[in-house]
Amino acid sequence: MQITNIEFNNYRNLNNLTIQFPTDISFIIGENGIGKSNILNALSKIFIYGKFADYDFTDSTKEIIVHISLALSDEEIGSFDEYTDPSNPNKINLVIKQEIDDTGFSVYHLETGEEISPRLLKNVYYIYYDSLRNPRTELSFEKDKGSGSFLNFIIKYFLEKHDEADEAYVNKEKLSEILTFINSSIGDLRTVKRNNVSVHTDSNNISFLNRVFQLYDYKDIELKNSGYGIQFSLLVIFSLFERLIDITTKAKKLGQPLEKITCILAFDEPEIHLHPFAQRALIKDLVAIAQGKDVGFNKVIKELFGINSFSAQLLIVSHSDRIISGGYENIVRLYSAGEDIKAVSGQSIKVDYAEQLKKDEKHLQRLLPYFCEALFARKVLFVEGESELGAINTFAKIMDIDLDGYGISVINTSGGDTINPMIKLFSLFQIKCLGVKDRDVYDRKHNMGTKTDDDDRLIADGRLILTKEPNFEFEIVNAFNNLEGLYSILQTVDANLVVAQQRDKVNNFIQNFNYPLVPVSKSLDWSDCNDDVKKKLFLLVALGGIKSITTGSMLAEIFTPETIPDTYKEILEQLIQ
């Protein structure tokens, strides 16, 4: 089963929140404290615990109401008796209600209003991982709860399979010799005598065996003394088995052993304590498990639990842009709308705005992995190139603007053509967007009679700004009045910039920008520049030859808050309003 839609009323801070989920994988993102974890918590209450707590009520005088829609496979039809969506037998719509004084919630079929036994919700296999766990206490063969229960289970399974008593693996005669020696060594100590302390082996030999085995890392260090990253990586995966033990054990007791499981896997920040590569590796592991493609995982669940087929819907709360995989339709973003929390789903965007996005669909899907950081921002500024990216960040520092503090992400789209589609997509995710483009391209289109309707609409909306000068390089050169000083700075940035500029390069620049000079007959050297028009030409051609974050940043550093080009000063001031 998979969750397709859910609506919360009077639950914590999620009052009047509606979410549409993809049926494969959802990355639930948003600012701290906005309610992402509350979603997974609510699902735990619904599918595992069967009751909302007093602190779950937004208003204690009103009932919690949750509408939830589930997609059922053909094999799962009947899991809720005869109740399904009248128009679709592979779907069921439920309403869950609870007053604060109720001992548990009530469940109703949406279309008929008939009450359904809450026990039927147990047919939804929901596996939840909360990152607020301690791997040092859980990852032990001794534990029969938490992730350690999986390790404990393996020993019990082995003993049962081999039909041997656990005593077969414990040589009590040898152990008694050690016990006698230990007790004789400490037995005469007054404190030991006074408190009647003695050493024994565990009477439960399975418990004894559990203490014999320990997990070690590749450096042969006991795992509880190793790094948190490895511990949490194991904890995330082992937590799946912890719940599978519970699910399969109950099924066997009912005489209904499970050979196929479709479930919902919910993870709250599984990337915690992991470095970037480990984060990406872990999410690939989880996706492979959910798709039934993890050979090792499939082997384990078949051997230990008799499960021949496993698939899952993934719900992942995350603060990391590194783990997002798939396309924009896999994003569920929570955001504040006045006093309410709202959600926008990439799945609904893909459906509702299909015509608008069709032209750029492949483009957006290809580029999204490079722009994932912006999905976590309050505001996004899209720029055309690396030089602009380096300069904007430096201008912000000069103006004493903390971009991180304002939740502003500056994204290099590597070309002006990408800016408009990205503004549209990210705006649909309810992120305030602003793009800046070089004016020369826009003007050239006008001169050629090419339509600029798309640009014009975004400019009218206040989501796109054109440079006042033809491009970034013009902005820098014209704003910095000391041309000799700028020439000297370029010498320190890259000596190759200030060598004689090739004739063809200079003439192409003159033609492309309609620069007020006749074409040159030879390469242009700084010594040939006897007026400001030629000096600016030399500097513009030189700057056009090296576009990089470093160059943009170093050029920006020569400005003061008063001399920063007006275009970029206005952009930064607009972003922090």
pLDDT band for 459, please (50, 70, 90 cuts). Answer: very high
Q: Across residues 479-493, what is the average pLDDT?
A: 87
Taking the model in full, what pTM does it have?
Answer: 0.89
Question: What pLDDT, in 10s, does the model give residues 110-142?
Answer: 999 999 999 999 999 999 998 888 777 777 777
DSSP assignment of 282-335 equals HHHHHHHHHTT--HHHHHHHHHHH---EEEEEEEEE-S-TTS--S-GGGEEEEE
Report the distance separating Cα 152 and Cα 155, nearest Å: 6
Segment 16-31, tens digit of pLDDT = 999 999 989 999 999 9
Flag whether pLDDT at 202 surpasses 70. no
Give residue-wise pLDDT tens across range 226-250. 778 888 888 888 889 889 999 998 8
Task: Choose among 40, 23, 38: nearest CA to 326.
Answer: 23
Angle between helices 549-556 and 386-398 (to 10 degrees): 30
- Calculate the dihedral angle through the C-alpha atoms of 36, 40, 41, 45, rounding to the nearest 10 degrees: 150
| Rounded-to-integer distance, Cα 56 and Cα 48, Å | 16
Evaluate if residue 405 carries a pLDDT over 90: yes
The pLDDT mean for the chain works out to 89
Q: Give pLDDT, residue 492.
A: 81
